A and B are shown apart, each in its own frame.
Chain A
Amino acid sequence: MKIAVCVKQVPEGNSRIDPETKRLDRSGEGALNAFDANAVEEALRLKDATGEGEVVLVSMGPPKAQDALRKALAMGADRAVLVTDEAAAGSDLVATSYTLAKALEREGADVILFGQQAGDSDGAVLWAAVADRLRLPVVSQAAEITQADGKLTVKRQTEFGYDVIEAPLPAVVAVSDAINEPRYPSLKGIMGAKSKAQATLSLSDLGVEGDRAGEQGSRTEVYGLNDPPARSESKKIEDNGNAAQAILDFLAEKRLV
C-alpha cells in the first residue's frame, strides 16, 4: 500500500505575525507540525499492517522545511517531496490546496493522510479542499482507522458522538491527535534519514500556473492587525512546593471553597 502523508513545517515555539508583511513570521527555527507526527505514525502502521508499500511525505514550504521532513523520515517514512518556490509564499487555502493536489496527483497514493491541524493557523480544513481537487472521498477527525478489502473504516468524533464511516481507496483521511502515540525516532532512524531521498519541486515542475499560487492565487487577504480585547487580571506562579496552598488561598479569596 502506498501512503502519502501531508506534513507542514511550523515555527518553533510561540508564533507572531510580522506587522509589515502581515504574514506569519517564519524566520526562526522550524519544527515539524506536532499534529503531523500522528499522521506519519498512522501511515507507518498502515504500511506495516499490509506488509508492503511506501510512505511518502509531501509538503509545501520554505527550503528549511527539509529539517522538519528529515524528522518525519527519521520516524520511518521512506522518502520526501518538498514543493518549494518563492512564488508560493503567502498561499491561502485555495492556493495551497491547488498546489498540494498537483504534487499528490504525481504520487497516486492509495491513502493520503493529514494531521489534525496546523499549529500555526489552526485551520483544520486543508484535507477537504485537497480531496475535492483530487475528486477523492474524505474523512476527517479519525480516531481509529482499519483497512480491509480495498477500503478504510474510520471511527471519528463529531458534536454528537462517534460516527463510523467507510471509504473505498484511494481515500483522504485526516487523523485526530489521539489516534496513536507517535514513535520517537531511534538513533538508527536518525542516521538512516540522512540517506533517504528528499526531492524538491518548483511550481513549474508541477505545472502550477503563476496566478494559481502564492498571493496571486489566493482569494483571502489580511487588512490589519489589532490588539486582542483586554483581559481581566491574571496571575501565574511557579510551583516551588507551595502552589497547592496558593491555589487554596486564591479559591478562598474568591469564596469558591
Chain B
Amino acid sequence: MSTLVFLEHHGHELLKGSLGVLSKAAAFADADVAGVVIGSKVRALADQAGKFGAPKLYVADDARLEAPLPQPRVDVLAQLVRDKGIDTVLFGNSVLAADVAAGLAARLDAGLNWDLADLVQQDGKLVGKRPALQDSVYVDVGWKSEPRIALFRSGSFDPVAAGGSAQVEDVAVALEDFSTSARMVDQAHEESEGPSIEDAPVIVAGGRGLGGPENFTLVEELAKALGGAVGATRAVVDAGWYPYSTQVGQTGKTVSPKLYIACGISGAIQHKVGMQSSGVIVAINKDTNAPIFEFSDLGVVGDVHEVVPRLTELVRARKAS
C-alpha cells in the first residue's frame, strides 16, 4: 500500500486534523507512507511532518500556491499520484480538503469515500467505516479500483508524535489555466474579536430557530444565569446574527463544556463534530424529528421562545433561593 496524506497548513503549522490522519496511516502494518505539503515557503513544515509519522515528505513549493485554493492543489496531486504510483490518498476534512479531494476524484476517476470515521484492513481489503443518515447507521464502504481517496470526518484521529524525521523530495509544479483563474482577494485571518468560548463550563448555543438576531438575548440571558458562554451555528454566523468567534462546529470551535444547551439548532453533522464531546447535551427544538435529538441527553420538543425564558427565570430563582 503506497499511501499519500494531504497535509494542510495554516500559517506555520500543519493542521491537527491532517496530522491525525498521518498518524493513522503510519500505524498500518504494511504502510509505505508519505505526506505532501503544498504552498509557498512551506519546506520548514518537514520537521513537524516527520515528527508525526511521515518518513517521506513531498513538497510543492511555489508562489502560485500561496492562497489556500483547491484547484492548483488538484493539479499537483494528480501529477504526484500518477508519477509515484500512489494507490491511496487520505485527507482530513476541511473546506479546502473536501474540494481538493473531490476535484482529484474527478481528475483521476478515482473513488472518494467521505465522512469516514475510521479505515481498517479487513480480509486484505481496505474498508472505510462510515456513519451515515445522521449517524443512524454505520456503513462499511470500499473502493472498486485504485487510486482510492478517503476524506475523514474532523476529529477522527489524534495526532501521535512518534518523533521521526521526513526525507524531503521536491515536486515539480505545473498548473492548468483554469485552476489558477480564481483569485484570493482577501484571505481569512484569525479573528480575535469577540469572546472566547472554548474554556466555558456551560455553553448555551443558538441557531436559526431563534428566528432573528434580536432573539439572541434569550440565549444570552440563560447563559448568564448559568454562568456560561453563548455559542452559535454557522447558519446564524453567515447571516450576520452573531460573531464568528462564537461559532461551534467544523469551521468554528470544538468545545466540550460540562453542559451544552442547543436552542433552535437542527444538529447538522458539521455542528455535531464541534460539540459532541460535551458532558451533558440538552436540546430544545420544535421539530420532533430534528437530528439534534439523536445525540442529546435530554431533548425537549418545544418552542425556544417559550421554554428558554422560562428556564432562565427558574435558574435565577433557584440561584436566589
Give A contacts to B, CB under 8 Å. Answer: 13-17, 22, 92-94, 97-98, 120-133, 135-141, 143, 153, 156-168, 171, 176-179, 218-229, 231-239, 243-248, 250-252, 254, 256-257
Residues of B within 8 A of A161 (CB): 188-191, 244
- When C-beta atoms are compared, the residue in chain B nearest to A24 turns out to be B133
Q: 13 additional contacts, CB 8 Å, given A128-B99, A219-B110?
A: A15-B133, A93-B106, A94-B111, A129-B102, A132-B107, A158-B68, A162-B188, A168-B181, A220-B111, A223-B127, A224-B140, A239-B302, A247-B311
| Alpha-carbon separation in the docked complex, A231 to B151 (Å) | 25
**Is the beta-carbon distance between A237 and B300 smaller than 8 angstroms?**
yes
A-chain residues with CB within 8 Å of residue B307 when the two chains form the complex: 239, 243-244, 247
Q: Is the CB of B190 within 8 A of A221?
A: no
B237: min CB distance to chain A, Å: 7
30 CB-based A-B contacts, threshold 8 Å: A94-B109, A121-B132, A125-B102, A125-B114, A138-B99, A157-B237, A157-B238, A158-B95, A158-B188, A158-B251, A160-B10, A160-B190, A161-B244, A163-B186, A165-B185, A166-B183, A220-B143, A221-B143, A227-B137, A234-B296, A234-B299, A238-B288, A239-B303, A239-B306, A247-B284, A247-B307, A251-B282, A256-B226, A256-B258, A257-B319
Q: How large is the interface on B (under 10, 10 to 19, 20 to 34, 35 or more residues)?
A: 35 or more
Q: Which of A94, A126, A159, A178 is close to B239, meaning CB atoms less than 8 Å apart?
A: A178
Which residues from B are CB-within-8-Å of A244? 307, 310-311, 313-314
Nearest-CB distance from A21 to chain B (Å)?
A: 13
Query: Are B184 and A165 in touch, CB under 8 angstroms?
Result: yes
Q: Indicate which residue in A93, A234, A248 contacts B105 across the interface (CB closer than 8 Å).
A: A93
B94, B98, B102, B187: the one contacting A163 at CB < 8 Å is B187
Question: CA of A223 to CA of B296 in the docked complex: distance in angstroms?
Answer: 30
- Would B98 and A132 count as touching, CB distance under 8 A? no
Given A93-B112, A128-B103, A239-B307, A227 and B238 touching (CB < 8 A)?
no
B interface with A by C-beta (< 8 Å):
10, 15, 68-71, 74, 94-96, 98-103, 105-107, 109-115, 127, 131-145, 151, 176, 178-179, 181-191, 202, 208, 226, 234-239, 244, 250-251, 258-259, 269, 280, 282, 284, 288-289, 293, 295-303, 306-307, 310-311, 313-315, 318-319
Question: Are B202 and A256 in contact (CB-based, < 8 A)?
Answer: yes
B255 to chain A, nearest CB (A): 15
Residue from A125, A159, A238 having most chain B Cβ neighbours under 10 A: A159
Q: Report the minimal beta-carbon distance from B235 to chain A, rounded to whole angstroms.
A: 5
Collect the chain A residues with CB atoms within 8 Å of residue B284's CB.
Answer: 243, 247
Asked whether, in the complex, the Cβ of B141 is within 8 Å of the Cβ of A220, the reply is yes
Q: Check A222–B141 contact: CB distance below 8 A.
A: yes
Among the interface residues A143, A171, A219, which one has the most CB atoms of the partner chain B within 10 A? A219
What residues of chain A lie closer than 8 Å to B238, measured between beta carbons? 143, 157, 176-179
* Min CB gap B254→A, angstroms: 10
Partner of B185, one of A93, A166, A237: A166
* A residues less than 8 Å from B295 (CB atoms): 231
